[in-house]
Each structure stands twice: as C-alpha cells, then as structure tokens.
Structure 1
C-alpha cells in the first residue's frame, strides 16, 4: 500500500525534467526481462492432464509447482461454457487481439487450500470429478464437483512400488456414473521374512529400492454407498482400466506369461462385475492403453508386434489398433503413418480415434477414421493445414481464439462427447470432418505448457500459470536446421544462441544429448538450455538416428550398435554447426547428456578429444555389468538380441569403459544414489577409470534420488555444478 500526502508543488522545470527522465529509465529497467539463473528452473509450473467435461463446458487440470523444498500438485477448474467459438473471431482487429492479455475464461483452484491431488476424471454425467489424493495419511479416491462441493472420500488405494510400464488409467467411471473401478494393491505372499531378504525373482528391483510384495488388481465400489470389492487376484499386476459402455465389464492389461518378469507381454483382459475374467488379446507384442468404444463394439489400444518389447525405451514404434470386444478381429490403423502413437481417445460416434504421435520434433494430435484408416492432423501441423488469414494467426502469448501456425508440442489432451461439423483443407482437397472440443496442454521452445481448448485448428488459451515467469525471463528462440549425416540421412537439429549474442564475438558451445535411446528433442521449453544460454553458451541439440518421430527405420538406427551411427550423427551435427555459425569457438566445446545421453557422453570422451569438458548424468558405461544391475535387463535383449553370456564381445565392443584409455576430457559424473534404472556403479566404474588414469574427474552423488533428480535443491545444485564445470574449462 502507498501512502499519499497532498502538498503544494515547488519543483523547478529542470527538476521536473530530470525527475521525468529518471522515472522513464526506472520504468524501462523494471520492464526488461532478466536472464535466467539455475534457481529459475523451479519457477516453471508444470501444467498437465487437462480433462474436458463430457459436454465441453468445463476443464479440470493439474498444476505442479515448487513451494520451498516440496513439489505440490493442485487441481484447477475453468468454465468455458457456450462462449467458445468454433472458428476465429471476425470482428476483432489483429492488433487488439495480439495485445489482449486477460484470459477469456479465468480458472480457479478446484479444492480447498493444502490439498495435494492428481488424476482428475469427469463422471460420464458431467456432475462429478473423481481424483487421487493423500489426505491426513489416507491415500485414495475422492469426489467433488464443479460447483465448489466439499471433497468426499470414496475408497482407499494401496500402491505398489513395482515398475509397471505404461501403467495407464488408475480408475474408471461406470457409464451410469454410479460406480468406479480402480486399481489397488494387495499382498499375495504373506509368509516371506524381510530379514534376511531372499531374492527369488528377476524383477526384484523397483526404480529406487527393492520391489515390495504387493500385486495390483481390479477393484470396484459404488459411489453413493462405497463398499469396495476385489474383482481380480493372483501373482499379477493388473492395470490400465476402461469401463465398458454397457457397464458390465472392465477392460484392463495384465501379463499372464509363465514368468512375467522374464517376458514383458501385456495383453488385454476383461473382468465382469462378478469377478469372471476373459482374455481378449493374445499376441507376442505388448498391448497398452485400452479404451472401449462408445458403442461397445471395439476396444482401441496401442501396441508393438515384435517378440521382445523392453520395459524401458523401446525401439519399436507403438501404433493404434482396434480389437472387437470379443477379441475375434484385430486391425492396425496407423501403420501407414509410420510414427510412434500413444493415448487413443474415441470420438463419440465410434467412427474415429484421436491419438498423439511424435513427428519431427513435435508431438501432435491426430485423428484416424475406422472405415478408411486415413490419418489427419487435428491441429499444429502447419505444413498440412491451410494457412489462416493473418489477423487470426497468433503465438502462444495470445488469449484470443487463435490459429496456431507454428511448431508446438502437445503433451496431453482429452476430447468432449459433443461434436461439431467442419472440413479439413489440404491444397485443393476439402474433406468433411466431425470435430470434438479438445482440451490440451500446449507448449513451444519459449512457452511452458498451458491449457488450450478449441475445435479443429482454432484454439483458445484458458490458463496463465507461467505468464509471470515468461514476463520476467529473457528467453532465447532456438534456430532449427537440418543436415545430411555421413550416410546421407537427414538429421534435424536446433541451435540456441547465447544471451546478448554479437556477431563479432566467439562463444563456447555445449552439445546436449537426449536419453532413450529412443527419445526425441523438439519444440518444448527446456529451462536448463535457457540457463545455459543466459550464462553465455550456445546450445546444440539434435535427434540422431535411434530417435522417435522419424519412422521405424530411423528408430531402429541404434540396434546392435550403441555409439555407432548416432555418434556419427552427433559429430556431423557439431561439424555442421561450426560451418553454419562462424561465431562458435571450435576450441571451446562441451558435451552433456543424461541416461542414454550420458552413455553417449561417455562414449564421445573415449572416441575424440575435441570436447574440452563433459558432464555425464545417470550414465551407462559398461553394457555387461549394466545388464545385471539395472531393472531393465530386457533393454539389452531388445537392443542387442540376446544375453551377455551369448554376445559378450558385442556388448563389450559398445561399452565406453573398453576405450577409457583414450579419454582425455575433464568429466563430471552426476548420479542418484538410489537409481536402479542405471545403477550408480555405472558412474563409479567410469569415474574410477578416469581417476586412476589421471584425467580430471569428479563424481557427484545425490542421496534419495533415482533416475533423474526430483528434490528441488538437488535440481538447482546439479545445474549450478554443471555450469561451474563448463565455466572452468570452456571460459
């Protein structure tokens, strides 16, 4: 609050002029964005899981943010009502629209203060929202409504720490909104002592500890008078639920192999309300994400087809499939697209399926019709959708109805049951289409994710949780370029210039490598890259062979040779960046990466001395010992076609540790002490080898952390240490 005391003015013209100049300069400085520091990465709120109500009137979503040393997840609700336009506005002038910063649909917290909740899901009648929360030590399902209803506890849920790939939906409403089916764990083996711990299974490790004895099963309860009943049982992990529209069965996933730990093979099953289970699919590949069609005839899902599917980063792209409810008929719908598909959602008329897929650095929403298997982008594919008039085009800053004609990233989406009619225009072709209202989380390289809603390619932003962060930060737009690698393969890359870049200066460059190996860099904000740029570094990142988003042949590019073609792609990318950008100092190059990116960092420092500093996080160094210490043994089966005792020479050939005599680069290793994805011994082996050889190195161990750092202070500390390491050797 400002106190104002009226007084007579006695200012001279000179004083008045100086005061005006001072205030103008102060306003200019205050209005300027500042460069990011490592602590600023905690200011980015993670907006996720946008769920639109069946009638398209409401959207509920999750917001994860850091408060002190804790990361909390809250639920927000926004009422979009009937005001959402199906097309761009016709009366608003472009300059007015672009300066419009007030949200058309302001949201509010759904729950009272101090609630920590996630996984909001609408009841089919649109009157209630079920969600997961822990309250007063009780973990379970709660229900509230869009009209500020007091949350009501429905049932307790017990969770296992066992790693379940693509765990899917943890609960599902019945079509009449009277029941909820859910996944909860129970202890099937109660006679085992914990001291000593006797290991008698393959998957005895979870991601950060030893696997508990719990198994997950399908349960059901009434909503009005909760009385939980267990429907499935056994030494199995039942998960990923979808309620039949007839209300008589629940579809779910389970692995019924003789030894599920030895063979990752999830199939689709269904259990009726009396607890009788039937198997719907029985394939050698893995089925994921079952979703029952509204008419009850089909179940959509994503799936692989190969004999071996790892529980980790799989090379094989999942595609969208459908099976008849009986399991007699199965069809693959998106093979022609040749992209990795996830998250299938039925259109309410049961004639089409919406899904997300990776494509050249973007993750977008697509639609496939059942009758002709034609795949069309819903929005965001700027080279396939007819350009809109300039007054309707806008950036992710806009809060007015906007046609997004830029590269974006869609991390999640949901669709309403209500349909409108429109057309897809591509060149001279006009294809009539049915449009559902879609709520999605959209981001790009300089905008954190926010909630957007729309139909077709016209969208409206309905959240602003990161606006203050953007206004206070000077963010760098990366430049995309493509080049031919050593064998002629086209590689997509991005380069971020350092803050305050000047053409007459030389700058150090850091090459960053993604994990996987089948991950994908793209058009999403990377706060750490922005901090690197603020510190004066150029950042190069690219998608070498093995990355998803470029088709199956490209994704298979690392099979049987980790550090082969992908290493050559990375080095060709560095060469291309040096050729294109003469201001990059070729004598001040750094390299970093996490997980598989850490593996490649270790590989690079043993293959070339061109990098003067390296930071390797959660990295693999020895494929032989990795096999027996990681919970992902089948990653070796899938990528190298067998067991270490059968192909030891091949695994050792592609292990960085084998070539450690050649390493000269000062290297920092960062690792979580409880990481069972890539055990910390992998970093220890590489660290000890470099240390014994006299190469400058340090190992930073983070207690309580697994594969990737979670605690806010550790996230900031690791970034600060990484920058300090590069500053020491590159500046």
Structure 2
C-alpha cells in the first residue's frame, strides 16, 4: 500500500482547473485563469492570475464570487481586459498590469459575449446578443409583475441545449467600445448573427462570420468575410457548407489563418487549417496531407472553460495549432511551404496554449491521466519544459492515482482499435476484480491521455476500467471516424466487444463474471444497445442517452439533421430509425439498468429516458430512473457541483450493488 488517499467523488472540490494562458506582447508576462468549485456556494468561481514568465512566480489578481473568462492584453502590454460575471451578466473589465482595481467598462443589458482589442489601445471591438431594433445602450425595463408570454416559433433551430428556447428576434451584433467615454458604436445590423473573428494589426480590417441566408433550417454554414472598417466593404474568405472560424491575421497582415471543415462526411469530417492570402486572394489547406483533425476532440470532466486559439502566428509567418491524434492532443508547427510536424510530445493533452511572437517558446496548459493540468513553458527548439504552476501538485502527491496502460488491437474491417485499461487503485496481486467498460459520447470525440476524475473514482472503488475509442471516434483516420455513420450498433459495438474480449484474454486479474458498462450521450445509446444485444454484463448505467431515433428526430435540438447525418435516415424511413433504436430490443434486456438523465437536456431530451424506463418497467425488468433537475446535457462536466457528486454516487452505488 502507498499510504496515499483514494480518489473520492468529493475531490471535485479540491481540484483546480488551469486554463487560458495568454502571453503579453513582449512575452515576459502572462495571465491565466484558475477555476475551482466553491462547495458552500455550490458554484464555480474562476479568477485571473498573473505570471512572471522568467521567474515562474504567479499571483492572484481577482477575487470574489465571479467567473472570469477570455483575458487579453492591450497592444502596449500595460492593461488586461477580461469578461466577468461579478455583476451577474458577463461584462467587460479593464485593469492596469501595474496593479489596481479592475474597472467595468460596459453596461450592456444582455451582457458581452466576446471582444478583441483594437491595435490603437483606445477601443475594443465586442459582440453582444441584442433584440432586433435595439442598441448596445438600451436598457431592459424591469417589470416585477411581468406576465408569461407565448413564444412563436417559425424555424427548426428554435432551441439549444444549455441555452433553452431561442428568441427569433435576437441576434449577435458587433460594436466598437470607446474605452474612455464608454460609448459603444454599432458596427453590424440586420436580423443575422455576427461573430467577431479577428482584427488586423493595422486596425483597418476585421474578419467577421455571418450567414445572411433567409432560411437557415438546413443551412449549416458560417461564411467568413474580410471587412473594411471604414467602408464596410466585404471580401469573402470562405462561403461553403460547414463551419469555419478562429481566424487570425499573420503579423504582417498579409495572411489570415482559420480552421474548419466542410460537410464531405457531415459532422464526421476532419477539421483542417486554412490560410487565405490577402494579396493573391488564394486559399491553401495547410493540413490536407494530415489524416487527423485540427483542434481538441478529447472528452474529460475536469478542465473548465479552456479557450485555445485556432492557430497562432509567429514571426516568419509560421503557425502553431492543436491536432487530435492517437489519444493525444499535440501542438503542431506548419509553414507556408508545406512543412508540418509536432512541436510537443506524445502521451499528453495540450488543452490550451499561447506562443511567443518570436516562436522561441510556448506557454501550454497540459494534462495527462495522472496530472489534472498545469502551465508549462515549452522550448520549441530543444523540447525542454519547465513547470510554471503547481495548483494540483499537493493533490497529485496525496492521491493514489492510477496510470492506465494502453490497449491496442485489430478490429473488424481492418481498423485498429485503441484505448486504455486501468487496474484498481488498491489492487492486490493474485486477486480477481470486476471491470467497468466506459463509453464516450459524440460519437465523434475521443478519450485521450488526459486526467479524467470519473475514471479515477471508479478505479478507487476497486474496479478495473476499460475505455476505448471505437470507430466513429476522432483522432484517427477520416475513414475510421466516418465508419460509424449509418452503422450505429454495428462495427462500433463490435469494436467495444472485441476490446473487452482482448483484455479478458490477456489480463487474468479481471473477473469475467463481474462486468459493468456505462456511457453518456452516444455512450448512453451504446449502453442501451449493448444490454439489448448481450447479457454478458451484470450491471449497466445509461446516461443522457438516446433510446428511440424516431422520437429523437423531433425532440432533440439537433435531431432533425443529426439523425440524417448519423443514421442516414429521416422520418420518411422510420424502419431504419427503428432498427437502430435500442428501445426496439427492450424485451431482450436482462441486465439491471440504471437510467440517469438531466431534466433540461435538449440534446438528448429526457423523454428518451422516460420511454426506456416505462418500457422496461412494463416488462418487469430490473431498472431504476434518476432525474437531475436544473441540469442540461453537460451535467457530468459543468453541471451543478452537488448534482455532479450525486451522479458519481449513483454510478458507484449501482455497480457496488450488482458487482
């Protein structure tokens, strides 16, 4: 025994999330955000910290019951702006880097969504969602006796998980704040959503995202335009089906980098990194030869609010960006001549980062399975690294954390299947223990080499944990991520069961008569599918799941197009939708099934759980149903802290009962 403490559900209150590293213009200083859960308040508090890059010393800059986000240095490096919820709605604050109180510089009724400094340092571009016809200065009349109002819906995208019902008369607009006067001048107008992407270093150009299509029900575009600040004349950068964003000007303003993906494989399409040449008006896909997606596709439950740039330009027109590959998220380098290679090591998760303008070093927030995440200075040329923060150091020292071992096998159809296996934290040689199979959501996401509190909790209970990336997962080839579409419950199910058979064959410490399975979202669908197709598992827990693709089509915020993209069927082909619905196979279920679901989940609405529960109960199956109030699809990651603890207790309690 190590004498270390076992990981507990309540460790959520000890862990700290370190994100948003932003270097000052001369790269001698940085700011970053630390998020921690306040158990007494049952809330997340996020505060701004300052870092001296050379000495590695850091100091907390903001306090109180607030959440700080999106910190940015002024162009001269003398001030820092950030968004804060200290007055409930997100407003913009500016503070002097030399010290002193932060000054609130906006009073926008609906709050500020995002912002970028103008190069002059006297203005800040910002976005806010405004009611059509209203200005940034308008105030909402507060009526204590306001009566409920009906909501007229004329579009299909009328609700969104985490946001609720979408008012059709509100749109995101861009304005320009004059810091001294506090006046905000409107820059955009019209009943369209505008996103502020980038400001040129000369201050004369913006990159703006806007889709002006009249009917957007089946329109999945965010065109990007280069806009002249004075004349508002627009030059189209990209306008095609798919999502594109994260634009950034090169230091000489000649090039604009942006990320995104078209719809060749619908939402399974790999994201790429593109560069637009403003002089020649040509576009280059820098990552065309890379069979892996740009960006971060890792699913975990610890990091709060990372906000990594899509790409960072350095002197010489070099680029740095994230790539999701083989369980890792790595920092990559590219130039305009076609060079492309990793700039950070394997076996870790670079979940946020900044790069010095001279390209000599990166400031990166990095996690691995036994490190919740800290900031590191990465020397680009030598590969050397220096830890700059130690917020979770004592936690790591005190806890018995399990380092998973890599699992890899050849799956059906010639695909390699990759994942991880954890022994129990208190494993004693010669003993046999239960195994939990944990399946991720998405399905186009990825388990990775990142800290995952839930996995450590399960291992601390004395169980092994198997978590893999079946076909459909990101981080592998385009063919692999696309292979699940139209085949839910086919090759993906086979991958999971093949991985299970593989670890049972090679690890005698697993008790093959005591197997459990769980998963959320797509992982919940797969848990439902598994118990309807095999009785090998002695206990199962399905979370925020899909059980019936026919009703999902009409009740999910994404159902009417996601079903077509993923199942390759819509309401003109209910036979196919039903064939892939776990509810169809409810009569076969022999495994005790616990159903966990959030009441405000609009992605996989709770009626999916209700149908499954009542159907199983009517068939006299062993099942229970736990409903989480005031919670959406992201309960396990960003939900109310007390309910996150309850959820983990439900997981361990059910497996304890049946395994």
CA RMSD of aligned residues (A): 2.0
How far, CA to CA, are the matches of 1:321 and 1:370 in structure 2? Answer: 10
Give secondary structure in 1 for the equivalent of 2:76. Answer: coil
Which residue of structure 2 aligns with residue 129 of structure 1? 80
Which residue of structure 2 aligns with residue 70 of structure 1? 43
Which residue of structure 2 aligns with residue 684 of structure 1? 610
Deviation at 1:307, TM superposition (A): 5.9
Distance 1:673 1:298, change over 3 A: same
Give secondary structure in 1 for the equivalent of 2:500. Answer: helix
Give secondary structure in 1 for the equivalent of 2:343. Answer: strand
Name stretches of at least 5 consecutive residues in structure 1 with no aligned partner. 1-28, 82-103, 162-168, 382-406, 420-434
TM-score by structure 2 length? 0.91
Which residue of structure 2 aligns with residue 377 of structure 1? 342
Give secondary structure in 1 for the equivalent of 2:160. Answer: coil
Structure with greater Cα Rg = 1
Which residue of structure 2 aligns with residue 207 of structure 1? 161
Runs of 4+ in 1 over 6 A off after TM superposition: none
Q: Is the 8 A contact 1:240 1:290 kept in 2?
A: no
Q: Would you say 1:548 and 2:474 are equivalent positions?
A: yes
- 1:463-517 CA distances to partner (integer Å, 9 max, x unpaired)? 1111121122111111112111133321112110012212311100000001100
Q: Is the 8 A contact 2:194 2:209 kept in 1?
A: yes
Q: Is the 8 A contact 1:110 1:146 kept in 2?
A: no
Distance 1:350 1:655, change over 3 A: farther
Which residue of structure 2 aligns with residue 442 of structure 1? 366
How far, CA to CA, are the matches of 2:534 and 2:339 in structure 1? Answer: 47
Q: Is the 8 A contact 2:78 2:98 kept in 1?
A: no
Q: 1:318 aligns with which of 267, 271, 277?
A: 271
Deviation at 1:682, TM superposition (A): 0.8
Q: 2:632 aligns with which of 687, 706, 717?
A: 706
Which residue of structure 2 aligns with residue 182 of structure 1? 126
Deviation at 1:246, TM superposition (A): 1.7
Give secondary structure in 1 for the equivalent of 2:334. Answer: strand
- 1:64-105 CA distances to partner (integer Å, 9 max, x unpaired)? 111121111111111113xxxxxxxxxxxxxxxxxxxxxx52
Distance 1:581 1:125, change over 3 A: same
Which residue of structure 2 aligns with residue 593 of structure 1? 519
How far, CA to CA, are the matches of 1:646 and 1:678 in structure 2? Answer: 21
Q: 1:45-194 to 2 correspondence within 5 Å?
A: 45-68=16-39, 69-81=42-54, 105-137=56-88, 139-157=90-108, 159=110, 170-188=114-132
Q: 1:309-348 to 2 correspondence within 5 Å?
A: 309=266, 314-325=267-278, 328-342=281-295, 343-348=309-314
Q: 1:383-422 to 2 correspondence within 5 Å?
A: 407-417=347-357, 419=358
Q: 1:245 aligns with which of 181, 201, 207?
A: 201
Name stretches of at least 5 consecutive residues in structure 2 with no aligned partner. 135-146, 296-308
Q: Would you say 1:452 and 2:379 are equivalent positions?
A: no
Distance 1:123 1:566, change over 3 A: same
Q: Which moved more, 1:298-307 or 1:489-498?
A: 298-307
Deviation at 1:590, TM superposition (A): 0.3
How far, CA to CA, are the matches of 1:586 and 1:227 in structure 2? Answer: 67
Aligned residues: 623
Q: Is the 8 A contact 1:293 1:350 kept in 2?
A: no
Distance 1:195 1:115, change over 3 A: closer
Q: 1:346-361 to 2 correspondence within 5 Å?
A: 346-349=312-315, 351-361=317-327
Q: 1:524 aligns with which of 414, 429, 450?
A: 450
Give secondary structure in 2 for the equivalent of 1:379. Answer: coil
How far, CA to CA, are the matches of 2:233 and 2:96 in structure 1? Answer: 33
Which residue of structure 1 aligns with residue 646 of structure 2? 717
How far, CA to CA, are the matches of 1:539 and 1:631 in structure 2? Answer: 32
How far, CA to CA, are the matches of 2:460 and 2:116 in structure 1? Answer: 45
TM-score by structure 1 length? 0.82
How far, CA to CA, are the matches of 2:29 and 2:642 in structure 1? Answer: 36
Q: Is the 8 A contact 2:221 2:239 kept in 1?
A: no
Distance 1:496 1:244, change over 3 A: same
Give secondary structure in 2 for the equivalent of 1:599. Answer: helix
How far, CA to CA, are the matches of 1:663 and 1:196 in structure 2? Answer: 42
Which residue of structure 2 aligns with residue 198 of structure 1? 152
How far, CA to CA, are the matches of 2:333 and 2:310 in structure 1? Answer: 9
How far, CA to CA, are the matches of 2:87 and 2:655 in structure 1? Answer: 45
How far, CA to CA, are the matches of 2:90 and 2:431 in structure 1? Answer: 57
Give secondary structure in 1 for the equivalent of 2:499. Answer: helix
How far, CA to CA, are the matches of 1:277 and 1:676 in structure 2? Answer: 39
Which residue of structure 2 aligns with residue 100 of structure 1? none
Give secondary structure in 1 for the equivalent of 2:177. Answer: strand
Q: Would you say 1:256 and 2:192 are equivalent positions?
A: no
Q: 1:618-697 to 2 correspondence within 5 Å?
A: 618-633=544-559, 634-641=561-568, 644-697=570-623
Deviation at 1:180, TM superposition (A): 1.0
Deviation at 1:693, TM superposition (A): 0.9
Distance 1:332 1:224, change over 3 A: same
Which residue of structure 2 aligns with residue 402 of structure 1? none
